[in-house]
Amino acid sequence: MKITKEEVQYVADLARLTLSKEEKEVFTTHLNDILMYVDILKSADTMDVEPMSHVVESAEAFRDDVVTPSIGTDAALANAPDHNGSAFRVPRVIE
Contact 8, 28 (CB under 8 A): yes
- Reference 3, options 37, 23, 27; nearest CA is 27
* pLDDT, mean over the chain: 90
pLDDT class of 50 with cuts at 50, 70, 90: confident
19, 47 in Cβ contact below 8 A? Answer: no
* Residue 12 to residue 53: CA distance in whole angstroms: 33
Rounded to an integer, the average pLDDT of 25-33 is 95
Structural domains of the chain sorted by starting position, each given as residue range(s) with its CATH number in brackets: 5-41 (1.10.20.60)
Q: Give the rounded percent of residues in the chain with a pLDDT score beyond 90.
A: 60
